[in-house]
Structure 1
């Protein structure tokens, strides 16, 4: 019995020695992700807080001195990944994960995407030979102070081919552009899937219309979609737009009129208004 009790006490003592106190992190982990075009962009980083300190500058007490390498966050630094090949500020960058390093300055920041992800926060061992991209961007002043270091992805282009990463802290903002090329993927998808479903013909036709490609091909596809889907009002509306692009005002008017009638039957006010505007433009 005594031996059993001794074993239990030893186990308890061992478990107690391995136990750790859990407290909130001084620089909590953060992440941001989005899709630009068809490319997934993900950023994982740690978010230090200003806590009354001056962040950027030349003074001895600043947290991030001008002209010095910065891990662009806290702890093990910031990692950015791309699911496809991209261009960053015009520089071709293969798909994969990279370490985001910066050299802040008053009028210009140097930004590097390093292939040496294992470097982490150990910036003293940075080697330029591992750069996947090295470029300069201009900082701007923020009107409102950002207490906690924040990374955002936004400012998407109308064609969804590009977006901007923003680094914001204290009263400073820096942005750089990521550009994607999804044309090859879209064309391959169209080729593989238009024979599968009428709705795929419709999507292909709208893509050609919006990107000003072969309108005759777009018309062929939208006609197949209309045939396979019993000519719903949204398909007829896009058909009318394609016919307008082809200079076929008579055909466009007929398609828009049919779409308007079906939209009224479905009580879809949005498409009623869109067709009315289209019909006005065809007069």
Structure 2
């Protein structure tokens, strides 16, 4: 009898340990990642929803009152990390992970990146001395309501050196700029790679294009792109960049011949993008 009761008790205990009620989180976890230049940006946060409530206002009873410190999310707050040193709204920020804090306002927001990520959502632990950046930005109005707090990394610059981090909730949008200067790292990589005992043709190509796009030594760029073209059997995309380098050097005759060869190769490959780019380049050389 005792053995039977013990067996039943063990079975019930096992069932209790295995059974687990799961329901959707009120503020589910979210994350967004992006690469700007050579820098990885990651934002990890918990996403509250409006659920019919007023989110931002002067009313002290609203969900996020103006002028009060906010963890910029729910639960443990919002964390943002950078894989390399960056500038946030012009302020130098070392690579690492930070908690994003904010003081919302109708016409101006104050935001801070704080080193004490362990504070989580407990704003009583906030110490301004731990801020690595503290800055002000102007909020914008969204045409369409955003029900759930959403972060995004967008507006990446054409030169890939900056982007905008955006917080969007209700009808409010708040953006701040993150700038990532990668030039020194790229030049160091080019120097090390092109001086190696064995260099891949594509590495020569990348080095040549970077020198072209940043206005560096075009004679060196031409030497590299020639090695790339030889090593890859003159593909149309390499020839196109070579023609642009030759144009930059003032050798229109050579540039025209190279661009024409690139155009013909692009036609064979049925690559309309490079056909159009070469046609435009050829017109500029006549």
Q: Given the two structures, how large is their TM-score scaled by the length of structure 1?
A: 0.95
Residue deviations 1:236-278 (CA, integer Å, cap 9, x gap): 1111100101111111011112222222333333222222211
For residues 57-72 of structure 1, what are the structure 2 equivalents within 5 Å?
A: 57-72=57-72
Counterpart of 2:152?
152
How many Å apart are 1:21 and its aligned residue?
Answer: 1.6
How many Å apart are 1:3 and its aligned residue?
Answer: 4.6
How many Å apart are 1:11 and its aligned residue?
Answer: 2.4
Bigger mean CA offset, 219-228 vs 111-120: 219-228
For residues 189-268 of structure 1, what are the structure 2 equivalents within 5 Å?
A: 189-194=189-194, 195-268=198-271
Structure 2, gaps ≥5 residues long:
none
Structure 1, gaps ≥5 residues long:
none
How many Å apart are 1:118 and its aligned residue?
Answer: 0.4
Distance 1:8 1:196, change over 3 A: farther
Q: Find out whether 1:269 has 2:272 as its counterpart.
A: yes
For residues 90-239 of structure 1, what are the structure 2 equivalents within 5 Å?
A: 90-194=90-194, 195-239=198-242
CA RMSD of aligned residues (A): 1.4
3-state SS of 2:147 partner: strand
3-state SS of 1:111 partner: strand
Distance 1:171 1:267, change over 3 A: closer
3-state SS of 2:226 partner: helix
How many Å apart are 1:186 and its aligned residue?
Answer: 1.1
What is the distance in 1 between the residues matched to 2:79 and 2:143? 28
Q: Find out whether 1:87 has 2:87 as its counterpart.
A: yes
What is the distance in 2 between the residues matched to 1:220 and 1:4? 87
Q: Given the two structures, how large is their TM-score scaled by the length of structure 2?
A: 0.94
Number of aligned residue pairs: give it.
Answer: 282
Distance 1:130 1:257, change over 3 A: same
Residue deviations 1:132-166 (CA, integer Å, cap 9, x gap): 11111111111111111111110111100100110
How many Å apart are 1:204 and its aligned residue?
Answer: 1.0
What is the distance in 1 between the residues matched to 2:232 and 2:60? 70
Counterpart of 1:73?
73
